[in-house]
């Protein structure tokens, strides 16, 4: 049957070629679409994680309500509010940072954690000033949790520990201030006190917003500038699996009043965007595969119609219904496997090329996951087999005697 199926395929060059092209485009299209989109999503995810880790632990902010104020005043009495309480209650600093770090060190899913102290300050040089985020980091533990160190293009993170009032500034911010390496810029804290700091490094993350508004310094330097010695605002945690961060965060949040948030909870808009993208991708691919399947169905259906007399003779010389079904299924299978393999090669080639295309700032990101290729191949082969099955079944159900009667 295989030999006959091959002869049928070869003898109908144009139809077979069209089927092959359809399957190839289906498989290749799936691979390219999925690889580029997942590559973009992975890139975005990594950008989010590389700056802020998998989980952040901060002091909880809370709306003040009648319930939250219960028992605060006149303990044991019923309080009737003439005008209900309002406002937000928060503590800028994490109360139990050391306790957290001790606890995190013993948790198996925690790879590493680091402390941070962060605040909004004003940064100025000459007549130029801008409101920026001053982030105090631990140069020793920060690289174990985030990739910020990799974005430092001049100098390195350890230089922050070589003295007081040393900072690493975003490339765009330095440009705005008209400064350069080793220049001194001033930082003004919320109390209006001015601190001169020296630029010992420059970083460029590719994210302009970050590069324009972020200054890195050692925790001690930031605590000094903020005039809050020993205080920590945030603990950033890296876990064994970023995709399970929300589960881990939930586990960590048990028995604490602090706010424990995973990267995906903190970036819910990003998640909804990626889900929407995936949804659109799936619809597009489904439509693509549907068109390919219809194409295969049409070609094979016509073939069954054209080959009725030959089906009749096959049945009269001892070939069964199943043999005729297999004959047409095999054609679908051969073409879909061949098209799938070519589609994989085209998909691989196209992805390799796409990866070299320079986008502003950095090259295009492509996901290189073998499962994308396997799914693309399986999807077109299964669709093609399904599309071949109906014509094959029709061929199997043809009665030889009916065909002979019709043709004589």
Partner 1 sequence: MVAIEARNVVKAFGDFTALNSISLTIARGEFVAITGKSGSGKSTLFYSLSGLDSINNGTVMMLGYAIHSLPEDEVHRIRNTKMGFVFQFHYLISELTALENILMPAKKIKMHKEKMQYAQYLLDYFDIKHCKDKLPSQMSGGERQRVAVARALIMNPDIIFADEPTGNLDSINSEAVMRIFKEVNKQNGTTVILITHDDEYAHMAGRQIHLKDGQIEYDIYNK
The residues of the shown chain that bind partner 1, judged by CB under 8 A, are 4, 7-8, 10-11, 309-310, 312-321, 323, 400-401, 404, 407-408
Query: C-alpha dihedral over 17, 32, 245, 44, to 10 degrees?
Result: -170
Least CB distance to partner 1 at residue 6 (A): 9
CB closer to partner 1, 12 vs 175: 12
What's the token pair of residue 75?
Answer: 């303990």
153 or 313: CB nearest partner 1: 313
For 300, half-sphere exposure in the C-beta direction (CA atoms, 13 angstrom radius) is: 34
- Asked if 258 contacts 235 with a C-beta cutoff of 8 angstroms, the reply is no
Q: Which is nearer to partner 1, 14 or 359 (CB)?
A: 14
Strands 214-218 and 128-137: parallel
To partner 1, the closest distance from the beta carbon of 305 in angstroms equals 15
Minimum distance from residue 3 beta carbon to partner 1 (Å): 8
Q: Which is nearer to partner 1, 376 or 400 (CB)?
A: 400
Rounded least distance, CB 320 to partner 1, Å: 5
Q: Which is nearer to partner 1, 1 or 350 (CB)?
A: 1
Place of tokens 């001033």: 186
Taking the CB of residue 270, how many other CB atoms lie within 10 A of it? 16
**Nearest distance in Å: CB 276, partner 1:** 49
Nearer to partner 1, 62 or 310 (CB): 310
Pairing outcome for strands 184-188 and 234-239 = unpaired
Using CA atoms of 37, 39, 42, 47 in order, give the dihedral in degrees to the nearest 10: -110
Q: Do 154 and 128 contact (CB within 8 A), yes or no?
A: no
Q: Residue 314 Cβ, how far from partner 1 at the closest point, in Å?
A: 7
Closest distance between partner 1 and the C-beta of residue 310, in Å?
5
Place of tokens 């500038």: 225
Residue number, 53 or 396, with CB nearest to partner 1: 396
Pick from 62, 56, 20, 32: which is nearest to 344 by CA?
Answer: 32
Query: C-alpha distances in angstroms, 406 versus 113, 242, 304, 309?
Result: 80, 67, 15, 9
10/268 with CB nearer partner 1: 10
Instruction: Measure the CA–CA gap between 264 and 270, rounded to whole angstroms.
Output: 8
Handedness of CA 156, 161, 164, 165 (dihedral sign): positive
- Judged on CB neighbours under 10 Å (0-12, 13-18, 19+), 256 is middle
User: Three-class SS string for 133-191?
Assistant: EEEEECCCCHHHHCCHHHHEEECCHHHHHHCCCEEEEEHHHHHHHCCCCCCEEEEECCC
CB of 329 to partner 1, least distance (A): 17
Beta-bridged to residue 57, according to DSSP, are 235, 260
Least CB distance from residue 264 to partner 1, whole Å? Answer: 57
By C-beta, is 162 or 320 nearer to partner 1? 320
For partner 1, the closer of residues 246 and 308 by Cβ is: 308
Q: Cα separations (Å) of 287 from 58, 177, 368?
A: 46, 52, 24
Considering the complex, what minimum distance in angstroms separates the CB of residue 7 from partner 1? Answer: 4
Q: Are 145 and 237 in contact, with CB atoms under 8 Å apart?
A: yes
Q: Whose Cβ is closer to partner 1: residue 11's or residue 86's?
A: 11
- We find the least distance from the C-beta atom of residue 318 to partner 1, in angstroms, to be 2
């Amino acid at each position: 049957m295989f030999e006959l199926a091959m002869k049928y395929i070869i003898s109908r060059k144009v139809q077979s070629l069209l089927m092959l092209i359809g399957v190839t485009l289906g498989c290749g299209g799936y691979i390219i679409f999925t690889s580029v989109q997942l590559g973009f999503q992975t890139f975005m995810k990594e950008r989010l994680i590389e700056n802020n880790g998998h989980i952040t632990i901060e002091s909880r902010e809370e709306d003040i309500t009648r319930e939250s104020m219960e028992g605060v005043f006149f303990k044991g009495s019923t309080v009737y509010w003439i005008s209900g309480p309002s406002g937000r209650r928060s503590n800028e600093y994490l109360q139990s940072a050391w306790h957290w770090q001790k606890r995190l060190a013993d948790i198996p899913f925690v790879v590493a954690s680091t402390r941070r102290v962060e605040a909004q300050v004003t940064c100025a040089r000459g007549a130029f000033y801008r409101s920026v985020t001053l982030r105090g980091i631990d140069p020793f533990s920060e690289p174990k949790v985030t990739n910020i160190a990799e974005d430092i293009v001049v100098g390195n993170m350890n230089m922050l520990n070589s003295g007081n009032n040393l900072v690493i500034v975003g490339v765009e911010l330095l440009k705005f201030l008209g400064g350069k390496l080793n220049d001194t810029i001033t930082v003004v804290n919320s109390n209006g006190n001015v601190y001169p700091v020296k630029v010992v490094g420059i970083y460029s993350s590719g994210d302009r917003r970050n590069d324009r508004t972020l200054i890195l310094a050692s925790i001690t330097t930031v605590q000094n500038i903020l005039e809050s010695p020993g205080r920590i605002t945030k603990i950033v945690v890296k876990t064994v699996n970023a995709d399970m961060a929300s589960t881990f965060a939930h586990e960590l949040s048990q028995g604490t009043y602090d706010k424990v948030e995973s990267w995906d909870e903190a970036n819910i808009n990003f998640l909804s965007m990626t889900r929407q993208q995936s949804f659109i991708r799936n619809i597009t691919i489904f439509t693509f595969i549907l068109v390919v399947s219809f194409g295969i169905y049409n070609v094979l259906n016509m073939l069954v119609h054209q080959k009725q007399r030959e089906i009749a003779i096959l049945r009269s010389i001892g070939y069964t219904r199943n043999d005729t079904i297999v004959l047409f299924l095999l054609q679908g299978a051969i073409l879909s496997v061949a098209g799938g393999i070519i589609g994989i090669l085209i998909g691989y080639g196209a992805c390799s090329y796409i990866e070299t295309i320079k986008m502003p700032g950095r090259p295009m990101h492509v996901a290189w996951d073998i499962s994308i290729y396997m799914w693309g191949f399986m999807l077109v082969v299964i669709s093609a087999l399904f599309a071949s099955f109906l014509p094959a079944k029709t061929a199997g159900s043809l009665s030889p005697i009916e065909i002979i009667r019709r043709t004589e």
